[in-house]
Amino acid sequence: MPDTNWTTRPWHRDWLQARANELFDLFQRNAVNPKGGFYDLDASGRPYGHIRHLHQTSRMVHCFAIAAKLGRPGAETIVDHGMRYLWEGHRDRKSGGYCWSLDDDGFKDDSKQAYGHAFVLLAASDAAMIGHPLAKDMLADVTGVLNIRFWDEHYGAVSEEFARNWAKISDYRGQNSNMHLTEALIAAFEATHDAAYLDKAKRIATLIIRTHAASLDYVVAEHFDEQWKIDKGYKGSDMFRPAGTTPGHWLEWSRLLAQLWVLDGRREAWMIDAAEQLFRSAVNRGWDEAKGGFYYTLDFENQPAITHKIWWPVTEAIGAAAFLNALKPDSFYEHWYRKLWDFSAIHFIDPANGGWFPELGDDLKPFDRFFTGKPDIYHALQASLIPLFPATGSLMRAIS
């Protein structure tokens, strides 16, 4: 293998920047809903639908805050549009918290989801880093909701879901919401320098990874009961809570643990060790060696369960490979970084309409089972930008 990484080569860096700008162009041009929030995009990149989901609104704020910090014209207008919809639309002024979805007539699903609140914290943190006028109040508001309503101090993680009036919906506990809260807590720490955010992120990581994933030889369990015991028999929806394990989440955790290791002054060895172990576990167990791509889910014998190839695990693997290779240079990570982009460029990136195909069937052709149209900008954008910046924390921290 050549002795220079792709991420140091000017042509590759230009190619990554072009991919990021294509995504920014697509969503800046087509996703803004003049009635508030953002449209979904169909397979051609055109706006459709009228339901706005909390995580999607928040992710648009996150991505265009990154764009604003990069100096992209028009990005701050997108951030402002999203922040106002979070504050004036999704926020429940009566009972507190942020409701899951809205349409033009008001709340569509008024449940309060930890997953959604994690992304509100991410959006508010990023908006604070570019000086948005609503960011300070939103950051304080969502932090209070998370601390009072969701956070379980005994276990060091958040509960999953509540009704609008904060009545308990279920005893289910999920790692996915806690993983994304870890991402948001890191961003909040970077925005405020308040160590309480980082301490919570470390507690979640300790529970999900150091306690549970390590006991499973670095397989991340997804589903738990209210005592945080693994529920191997859980069968939720195939899209959001599929049975078994999801290798893409092992890869997300790989990068997040590496970021925690960088940011935490103690640089605890278990974090970076687990980051490396999770990456290797995912590519060794989750990659389809015959066809390419990551299986969406595995069973607890590490055999493929849902074999369709979804776009976001590959993007998360790209970010993790780049981040780890910067911190712990190794030809193994460089090999996988190139292999992942090779597969994505051939199969996932849509050259005709922009964006990425969200899902491939077993023949590696675009296929609609779980996702329709163009997925949101969040995962693919981070894959395009993380390799361009130092591995010093989140993109918002690294871009300066």
Question: What is the set of active-site residues?
Answer: 249, 379
HSE of 184, CA atoms in CB hemisphere, 13 A: 28
Say if strands 309-310 and 359-360 run parallel, antiparallel, or are unpaired.
antiparallel
The CA-based diameter of the chain, rounded to the nearest angstrom, is 60
- 49 Rama class: left (phi>0) / alpha (psi -120 to 50) / beta: left
CA-CA-CA-CA dihedral for 250, 252, 255, 258, to nearest 10 = -60
- 45 Rama class: left (phi>0) / alpha (psi -120 to 50) / beta: left
C-alpha distance from residue 260 to each of 120, 174, 184, 198 (Å): 20, 20, 12, 8
The gap between the terminal CA atoms of the chain, to the nearest Å, is: 32
Contacts (Cβ under 8 Å, ≥6 apart) of 69: 129, 130, 396, 399
Listing DSSP states for 327-389 in one string gives HS--HHHHHHHHHHHHHIIIIIB-TTTSSB-SEE-TTSSB--SS--SBPPSHHHHHHHHGGGS
The span from the CA of 323 to the CA of 346, in Å, is 23
The span from the CA of 17 to the CA of 191, in Å, is 25
Structure tokens at 32: 């803004």
Strand, coil or helix: 38: strand
